[in-house]
Amino acid sequence: MAALFNLVGNATYVALAILALWGAYCAIIIWRRVGQIRFDDEEEQDEFLTELSAPLNQGNFPAAMAVCEDDRRALPQLALFAIENRDQGIAKLQRQLWERFQQDVLADIEHNLSWVATVVKTAPMVGLFGTVLGMMGAFQGISAGGSDVDPAAMAGNIMLALITTACGLAIAVPLLVATNSLVVRIRKMEDLMGLGIGRLIDLLRLALARSK
């Protein structure tokens, strides 16, 4: 029985380590992804839109597409899509831009964010499982040993109970803080994207009106 408790205890440590690594990995992926696809601030976004407005105002759509092609951030790629599909009409384009933003950008980010939230909820539960397991091992040692209880074995079981609880909290708390920070970062990106798409649609509307 003691060997079984040791085996499951070690498996608990492994599970906690995997949770910690996976949660940290997903959080880093989200942070990098948001940083890669958004503008740092509204001023930088306005600079791009100002650069894009010059060829659009001239009705030079190939030049406008050239401005967007090499920029892998979300708004330039959406602008490229809008210019390529400008014949579909402004109302339809505006709806499609938001749909593409939701599907191509936010869906992937929210998928990874859900994994981080899962780790935040799961790590304390796994830690609690280790706590219960450690206390079961301690009581099993007491019941099996009678008056000849091994203090070292009991201390090891209690240590398992305490360490797994601490590890579960040590994983969940930083990831919870990271999750809140990531949510704020994502919301700022969405707000900035909303302003950018609105101005992009206005530029495209004027350009199409001039080209008629």
Is the CB of residue 64 less than 8 Å from the CB of residue 52?
yes
Write phi, then psi, for 39 (nearest 5 degrees): -80, 150
Average pLDDT, the chain: 86
**pTM for this prediction:** 0.82
**Structure token digits, residue 131:** 């706590």
pLDDT of residue 129: 87
Domain ranges of the chain: 2-211
pLDDT of residue 2: 59
pLDDT of residue 48: 92
pLDDT of residue 150: 62
pLDDT of residue 159: 78
45-87: pLDDT as tens digits? 999 999 999 998 888 899 999 999 888 899 999 999 999 988 8
What distance, in Å, lies between the first and last C-alpha atoms of the chain?
84
> Can you tell me the distance from the alpha carbon of 90 to that of 200, in angstroms, rounded to the nearest whole number?
11
pLDDT of residue 21: 96
